[in-house]
Structure 1
Amino acid sequence: MKKRYYVAGGLLLIVAALLFFLSSMVKNYLVKNSPGLTGRKLAIKELHFNYWKAAVSAEGVVLYEKNQVDSFIAFQSLTVDFSPWKLLHREYSFSQISLVEPQLSIEQYADGYNFSDLIPEDDSLAVAENTSDQLIRFSLYNLKMTGGKIRLYDQTVENRITVSNLDFSLPLIAWDNHQSTVGAGFHLGEQGTVQVNALVDQQKQCYTVDLSTTDVQIKPVSNYLTDYFDVSSIRGLLTSDIHISGSLADLMNVQITGWGKLSNASVIDGQGETLLSVPEIRSRIKELDLKNYAFNFSSIEIDQPALAVTRGKEQTNVEQFFAPLLAEDTTQLVQLTMEKGDQQTTSYRVDTLKVNRGSLRFADHTLNRTCTIDLTELNVELQNLSDSSTRMPISFNTKINKSGRFSGQTMVNMQDPFDFYLDGKLQNVDLVSFSPYSEYNIASPFTQGWFSYAIRVKMANGKLQNENDIHVGELEFGKKTGDKPYVKVPVRLALYVMKDAKDNIDINMPVSGSTDDPKFKLGKIIWGAFVNVLSKAALSPFKAMAGLVGTDPEKMEYLNLAYLQDTLENDQLKTLASLAQIMQKKPDLLVTFIQRTNEELEKEKLAVKLAKANYMAEQNVVDLPTDDDSKFRQFLNAKLPAADSLDVEVACSKYIPDNQLNQAFVELLQQRNRMISDYFAEQQIPAGNIYVGVADLENLPDEIRRPEFKVEVSLK
């Protein structure tokens, strides 16, 4: 009798020992035989079976890459709690599955992935057909993942993406539950965050997804665009709040609403130059209907975009940017064929499109010297943009090279390009900025001139009505250059015979015609009118007004200055007094003073002045030293080794910091402007009759690079 108890006790002891060591035995078996089971090396730090809770937990699990060094997939811990009692009701149930700090590395190569060897052959996937009609019941509670990390590497385009702090939560999914909720959040890139919350309604066969992102960097997209654009990098931080709803029964039945913004966006072209930069782009999505291919936006706003366009001998940088896309052989593109009745038309609509305070810098390198044109404070508003728009209004305004302004309204028909309306005004453009064009075309620079142009175009029903009002004030050319002119028209001779009594050029040129005429080109007509404008010039207006004050008109055209001069002298006061008398007799006259100088020489002399001031302050000297003062030269040499081997202007320019010199130069220009304004204020001349400004020093012709005020007149 006792022997029987001993045998039973022994068996129980053996079973208990087996269960106690089972986890270690399984762990050792998996680790030891992992190369044969998976073809990969496997490491497991801990493996535990909880028989009372029917739970399994594993810690420190790593499945290595084929090189047996790098980690393919790893996690800190995995806990699986099974609910065996529900098997009595023929239901497979898990009360919890928890995964902590999983890490996955996915790499794509030209011939496959780093996990391709883990995928079974196609034949091995075959399973026996289940002919049973019995319903499989399952339930999964509390599926959680915390602290996940995914590393993605696409070798084909050398692109790397890291998803970190990945958290995932699924409270319940079961064979009979009507709704399931899913939540996930993770970091994408260095500072981006993504949050996803989804609701799946199995009873109604629909789902909703709320997706929000914060500061997600779009730079990883760049490498996938090189086949279509000449681009090295596209940057920007994406922040969005998107709502997605769809049908489980019809996967294409998806609607998307919400908003998004892209901050600090920029496009770097293939040459490493910034083509476009945008502080912020905002968009509100009215609805994106993927089933009906309908894309509707409430608004798109672009703040302060800066576009840099350069024109070379062959093409512009914008053309080069789009060259790969334009070179695409469209005949080789894959064509999608649909069954009859399944044809779908794509539609789009943007209620409002705005560009706020944009800028465009155009640099033309095809001339004898580069000409730069700056459009600033560019504002564009477009309404009702769509594929079917028949009357789409657009308004715009911008500054051109600081002094000029271009504004207007237009109406565009997206279905008929000859249904068009434009009313635009180009005002007060300084032609000196366009001197490189005149030098190239007629071998003469613009030395002064203001250009205004009002254009009205109406095209409808095959007919054109066009009005062109052109005004050029005070247009003058400098001496002929040694360049060979591109345009053979004798513009300078025409100026001599076409001047009018008011020294202005005013042209009103109406144009009419039929848009059905293949020989009709509106641009050619407008360009002809522009050439005519350039063929007319005005002589100095002071010749007609000199008799009012009995003075030499040439003295009133220029107010000559000395380098570094910042106060008015007697001769200059006399000239200004004559101008004041003219303005008092002609109250509608607007007198403009445009300051010019040789910036390089002015800064050199200004550097000497600042250096002498520093010398006097440090050495406690009262008398201003001469340029060749030995003590002053010793001072420079102490501040700038080998300064005694340089000209004093060069030495001082190297000694004075650039920022200090630039600031002093700006202050000098401002002081000169103030002395003019203050003088006329003392003479009780209305402020609206005076304009004082600075010329475009960067594009100034050499022959007028001297310190002076160019005095011009026009009507207010």
Structure 2
Amino acid sequence: MKLKKPVKITLIVLGSLVVLYFAALLIGPKIARSYIEEHSKEMIGRSITIKDISLNPFTYVLDVDTLAVMEADDKTKFVAFDKFSININPLKLITGTLDISDIYMKALYVRTTQHGARFNFSDILDFLAQKDSIYYAEHPEEKKTQDSEGKSAAEIAAGLPVKLSLRNIIFEKGNIIYQDTKIGSKFHLKDFSINIPAVYLEDNATGVDVSLKFADGGDLSVKVDANMATYNFNIYLNLHRFALACIKPYLNDFITYKDFSGYLSANITIAGNINSILSSNVKGKVTLDKIDLTEKSGSKLGAENVIVGINKANLAENAYLIDSVIVDGAFAHIDLYKDSKTNFDILLTPMSKGKTSADSAASDSTITQDEAPADKTANLAATPTEEPKPEPNEGPKAEPATEAASDTTNVAKAAKEKPAKAKKLKAKINKLLVKNTYITVTDHTIIRPFNYKVSAITVTGQNINYDTPCNVNVAASFPEGGSLALKYHGALSNLNTMDIYISVKNLVLKHFSNYSLHYTAYPIKAGTLAFASDNKIVERNLNSKNTIDIYNITVGNKVDDIDPEYTVPMKIGLYILKDKDDKIQFDVPVKGNLDDPEFSYGKIIWKTVVNLLVKVAVSPFRLIGNLAMAGASALGFDLGKNDEVLIDANTESFTSEQYAKAIKMTEMIQKDQNLMLIFTQYYNPRKTAKEYKVKQLKIDFYKQKNNKTELNELDYRAIEEIKEKDSEFKAYVKEHSAEIDKNYMMKVLPKMASQRNADLLKVLRAQPGITKKNLKVITAPRDALRNYKDKPMYKVTVDVQ
């Protein structure tokens, strides 16, 4: 049967259209691919490579296979993917719907580098902006269309000629890399995936699921429910063991350190509105594990585990309600240095900013080939990229007049608006717990460094409010069974006013021997201390009551090669202060302003102790007050006011009175064999030499006048009565003064002093109970004699063997 000519023509036309349709759908993508590759630099200033583009004429699925946008060097990939497909159903346009579905992308790769204010894509933006400027300069009658700022997604959708439907959007196995080459940081997100079942522009929630892994450790999953009509959103964030080591380059601007590691986990929900981000409510739990900060010295700070439970955090309301703060296994150290600085002063000093990225992260500057998607068409092995450089602009970079006018309006509007008054802080911690914590203290400011460890530190608190006074308790352990208990009462809003009670028990004193050496030159061998302190602080003014109770404290012999800060006779001082049970107890009130640079709580207590020791020990024969049951009065003797024996430095002999007083002092040793008497001879050599010269001239004058060669005691008495103003004597001095050699006299004086020591020692050794161990008779050192200005004497001190 032959077809009629009109029918035949119709079929031929339809067939031709079908052939053209299929040809266009099959050949068009190939042409588009070729055009994009050949003209990519004209379009964006970069090379683009595409393996294949195809469009299924039956399913209307557009496939793009292996696309890569190159860096400016045409060697390194900037953006790439292995596969992209999208289904656009044109038949749905008949019903007024633009239906886009099954948007799929596999192995998305994005590599972004930053150096200061420039990015590796800044040249693309400059290129496009330059083309824009040239175009509008050539077509001034055209105006750049303004963005639909201020319109909601629903309003934008309502203005479209068709209804928009977006469904089944999936990105999988992506790699996103960000590097800051100036700072030296690198973040690599692996297995980056997005799943969006449907996008709703009307009043309905769009769900977005995002998951990824961090190349350095950790993974993140985020679920977002966002209403594009109201801008309300809910974000559910689950971060698991994110490796904090990757933030090390950013720490250089804040601290000086050697290494940092740890893990961050978070299970957080955020509910809010895009138009008021600061009003969002945050709730959930944040966990830090294995925090380890290594200082330049090699010492470490950190914690095993920190958990913060957040009930509500709202920046706009200035409200932070914390369910719990739990710190487990924290550790720290405090180093004190002679320049009044601590290790924290060193730690909180930013590292030098003069480093280049190569200095701090040379190993991170290159992206390896396995981080980028496979390219089956060309060898695109990644190589180090040059730092992004500004591209020269050939034309004016004009901004549209409408945007400038909008900016001016916004500035004027902002100028009229007054800043909102900050809301009062609402802060509360329902539960605070610090456990299994220790702190090590090292003091380098003293002669021999002091090192001490405070362990088993526990801090507990309930209902800790910012404005309301609350209670916080602290407990800790000291070496060898010592303990600390501290109670704090006050409000966090006013740390200038608080009450603190401190109780220390069974503190083993030998660990503090280096302090005793530094301040007194005596090492502590044994003893324990109990300390109670009640401190009331009102507007930084301290009123403190302190009780010190020391048991069985024992010090060793004074270390001669240490020049102590205080000259304290520790042995005798402690001996006198001890009661019959070997205890010392006294109170130390402390008052002062904490902001006074001269104020030091510890120094006040130490100085009080030192003054007390000096007071009772420097003059053991005239104790004042009822300091203890021991002492001179308890030993049953009274030596009057003076603990000294005056002498005549120009003679080798002693008077009966001088012998008697020295002998009387030995009665102390007869009462207690633990004591030791030290007679130290003092005189001024220069002054004594002058007196000795005058005395020798008187002797020679007396001999000559009375024609005598030998003298007796009566003669010496007569010599003492000769007046220096006597005219005959003055004449004799004028004539014979030069005959007495000064150097001879300076040699004679030490011999006379030694002879006095020998004579006194001989007499005192003859007394009952006196031995070589409990009696010393010595001459003060040469420097002490040279600076001595008092009368010649033996100063008598008491020590303990």
TM-score, structure 2 normalization: 0.60
The yes-or-no answer on 1:411 pairing with 2:437 is: no
What per-residue deviation string (whole Å, max 9, x for no partner) do you get for residues 618-659 of structure 1? xxxxxxxxxxxxxxxxxxxxxxxxxxxxxxxxxxxxxxxxxx
1:301 alignment counterpart: 326
2:711 alignment counterpart: none
Pick aligned residue for 1:365 from 444, 453, 459: 444
Is the 1:189–1:217 Cα contact (8 Å) retained in structure 2?
no
Query: Aligned partners of 2:592 and 2:333: how far apart in 1?
Result: 37
Query: Aligned partners of 1:228 and 1:462: how far apart in 2?
Result: 30
Mapping 1:579-590, distance limit 5 Å: none
Query: Aligned partners of 1:117 and 1:533: how far apart in 2?
Result: 78
Say how many residue pairs are matched.
526
Sequence identity percentage: 21
The yes-or-no answer on 1:87 pairing with 2:93 is: yes
Query: Aligned partners of 1:151 and 1:138: how far apart in 2?
Result: 33
The yes-or-no answer on 1:374 pairing with 2:489 is: no
Is the 2:258–2:298 Cα contact (8 Å) retained in structure 1?
no
Higher-Rg member (1/2) = 2
Is the 2:550–2:583 Cα contact (8 Å) retained in structure 1?
yes
- Measured at CA, do residues 355 and 150 of structure 1 come closer, stay the same or move farther in structure 2, by a change above 3 Å? same
Query: Aligned partners of 1:462 and 1:184: how far apart in 2?
Result: 52
Pick aligned residue for 2:558 from 464, 480, 488: 480
Cα drift, residue 113 of structure 1: 0.3
Pick aligned residue for 2:77 from 57, 71, 74: 71
2:725 alignment counterpart: none
Is the 2:522–2:570 Cα contact (8 Å) retained in structure 1?
no
What per-residue deviation string (whole Å, max 9, x for no partner) do you get for residues 460-493 of structure 1? 6999764322111111111222111122343334
Query: Aligned partners of 1:257 and 1:73: how far apart in 2?
Result: 36
1:115 alignment counterpart: 121
Cα drift, residue 385 of structure 1: 3.9
The yes-or-no answer on 1:431 pairing with 2:456 is: no
1:175 alignment counterpart: 201
Cα drift, residue 430 of structure 1: 1.5
Query: Aligned partners of 2:350 and 2:165: how far apart in 1?
Result: 53
The yes-or-no answer on 1:471 pairing with 2:477 is: no
Query: Aligned partners of 1:206 and 1:429: how far apart in 2?
Result: 60
1:42 alignment counterpart: 48
1:242 alignment counterpart: 268
Query: Aligned partners of 1:414 and 1:338: how far apart in 2?
Result: 36
Is the 1:406–1:427 Cα contact (8 Å) retained in structure 2?
yes
Pick aligned residue for 1:197 from 223, 229, 245: 223
2:145 alignment counterpart: 128
Is the 1:507–1:533 Cα contact (8 Å) retained in structure 2?
no
Which residue identity is paired with 1:207?
A: F
Query: Aligned partners of 2:416 and 2:179: how far apart in 1?
Result: 36
SS at match of 2:36: helix
- Measured at CA, do residues 518 and 30 of structure 1 come closer, stay the same or move farther in structure 2, by a change above 3 Å? closer
- Measured at CA, do residues 346 and 114 of structure 1 come closer, stay the same or move farther in structure 2, by a change above 3 Å? farther
Cα drift, residue 386 of structure 1: 4.4
Query: Aligned partners of 1:169 and 1:378: how far apart in 2?
Result: 48
- Measured at CA, do residues 179 and 508 of structure 1 come closer, stay the same or move farther in structure 2, by a change above 3 Å? same
Query: Aligned partners of 2:130 and 2:288: how far apart in 1?
Result: 44
Is the 1:153–1:161 Cα contact (8 Å) retained in structure 2?
yes
Query: Aligned partners of 2:203 and 2:557: how far apart in 1?
Result: 89
Cα drift, residue 182 of structure 1: 0.9
Cα drift, residue 399 of structure 1: 1.2
SS at match of 1:228: coil
SS at match of 1:484: coil
Which residue identity is paired with 1:374?
A: K
- Measured at CA, do residues 461 and 376 of structure 1 come closer, stay the same or move farther in structure 2, by a change above 3 Å? closer
- Measured at CA, do residues 417 and 524 of structure 1 come closer, stay the same or move farther in structure 2, by a change above 3 Å? farther
Is the 1:72–1:105 Cα contact (8 Å) retained in structure 2?
yes
1:55 alignment counterpart: 61
2:310 alignment counterpart: 285
Query: Aligned partners of 2:289 and 2:523: how far apart in 1?
Result: 43
Cα drift, residue 433 of structure 1: 1.1
The yes-or-no answer on 1:145 pairing with 2:171 is: yes
Which residue identity is paired with 1:193?
A: D
Which residue identity is paired with 2:527?
A: G
Query: Aligned partners of 1:201 and 1:113: how far apart in 2?
Result: 33
- Measured at CA, do residues 143 and 275 of structure 1 come closer, stay the same or move farther in structure 2, by a change above 3 Å? same
- Measured at CA, do residues 30 and 344 of structure 1 come closer, stay the same or move farther in structure 2, by a change above 3 Å? same
2:421 alignment counterpart: 343
Which residue identity is paired with 1:395?
A: N
Query: Aligned partners of 1:90 and 1:260: how far apart in 2?
Result: 48
Is the 1:266–1:274 Cα contact (8 Å) retained in structure 2?
no
1:606 alignment counterpart: none
- Measured at CA, do residues 252 and 459 of structure 1 come closer, stay the same or move farther in structure 2, by a change above 3 Å? closer
SS at match of 2:311: strand
- Measured at CA, do residues 363 and 510 of structure 1 come closer, stay the same or move farther in structure 2, by a change above 3 Å? closer
Cα drift, residue 374 of structure 1: 0.2
List gaps (5 residues or longer) in structure 1.
326-335, 538-543, 545-716
The yes-or-no answer on 1:506 pairing with 2:514 is: no
Is the 1:222–1:231 Cα contact (8 Å) retained in structure 2?
no
Is the 1:199–1:208 Cα contact (8 Å) retained in structure 2?
yes
Query: Aligned partners of 2:174 and 2:310: how far apart in 1?
Result: 31
Query: Aligned partners of 2:281 and 2:417: how far apart in 1?
Result: 24
Cα drift, residue 208 of structure 1: 0.8
Cα drift, residue 413 of structure 1: 3.3
Query: Aligned partners of 1:42 and 1:153: how far apart in 2?
Result: 22
Is the 1:312–1:366 Cα contact (8 Å) retained in structure 2?
yes
- The answer to which structure has the higher strand fraction is 1
What per-residue deviation string (whole Å, max 9, x for no partner) do you get for residues 442-466 of structure 1? 1121111111111222456999764
- Measured at CA, do residues 226 and 386 of structure 1 come closer, stay the same or move farther in structure 2, by a change above 3 Å? farther
Which residue identity is paired with 1:82?
A: I
2:774 alignment counterpart: none
Query: Aligned partners of 2:420 and 2:73: how far apart in 1?
Result: 50
Query: Aligned partners of 1:41 and 1:516: how far apart in 2?
Result: 66
Mapping 1:645-664, distance limit 5 Å: none
Cα drift, residue 515 of structure 1: 9.9
Cα drift, residue 253 of structure 1: 2.1
Query: Aligned partners of 2:187 and 2:540: how far apart in 1?
Result: 55
SS at match of 1:252: strand
- Measured at CA, do residues 16 and 460 of structure 1 come closer, stay the same or move farther in structure 2, by a change above 3 Å? closer
SS at match of 1:251: strand
Which residue identity is paired with 1:420?
A: M
2:723 alignment counterpart: none
Is the 2:224–2:235 Cα contact (8 Å) retained in structure 1?
yes
Query: Aligned partners of 1:24 and 1:106: how far apart in 2?
Result: 30
2:519 alignment counterpart: 441
1:669 alignment counterpart: none
Is the 1:253–1:289 Cα contact (8 Å) retained in structure 2?
yes
- Measured at CA, do residues 158 and 478 of structure 1 come closer, stay the same or move farther in structure 2, by a change above 3 Å? same
Query: Aligned partners of 1:380 and 1:339: how far apart in 2?
Result: 46
The yes-or-no answer on 1:229 pairing with 2:255 is: yes
SS at match of 2:75: coil
Is the 1:472–1:533 Cα contact (8 Å) retained in structure 2?
no
SS at match of 2:581: coil
| RMSD of aligned residue pairs (Cα, Å) | 3.4
What per-residue deviation string (whole Å, max 9, x for no partner) do you get for residues 60-86 of structure 1? 111111111111111110001002123
- Measured at CA, do residues 48 and 346 of structure 1 come closer, stay the same or move farther in structure 2, by a change above 3 Å? farther
Pick aligned residue for 1:492 from 557, 563, 571: 571
